[in-house]
Amino acid sequence: MFDKCFLLNKVVKILENNEFEVYTTYGCFDIAAKRENVLLIKVLVNADGLNKEQASSLQATSHFLSAYPFVIAMKNNREFLEDKIVYSRFDLPVVTPKLFEEMMTDDIKAIQSAKGRHTEEINCFALREKRKEIGYTLEQLGKIVGISKKALYEI
What CATH number does the domain containing 31 carry?
A: 3.40.1350.10
**Could you tell me if 22 and 83 lie in one domain?**
yes
**Could you tell me if 103 and 45 lie in one domain?**
yes
**Could you tell me if 106 and 72 lie in one domain?**
yes
Query: pLDDT tens, 3-59?
Result: 888 999 999 999 999 899 999 988 889 999 998 889 999 999 999 999 999 999 999
**Could you tell me if 131 and 83 lie in one domain?**
no
Radius of gyration of the chain (CA): 19
Range of the domain at 141: 124-154
Query: pLDDT tens, 43-75?
Result: 999 999 999 999 999 999 999 898 999 899 999
**Could you tell me if 91 and 138 lie in one domain?**
no
Residue 54's CB is within 10 A of a number of other CB atoms, namely 19
**Could you tell me if 15 and 83 lie in one domain?**
yes
How far is the C-alpha of 55 from the C-alpha of 51, rounded, in Å?
6
66: left (phi over 0), alpha (psi -120 to 50) or beta: left
pLDDT score for 21: 92
Domain count along the chain: 2
Nearest Cα to Cα of residue 85 among 119, 120, 112: 112
Q: What is the pTM of this model?
A: 0.67
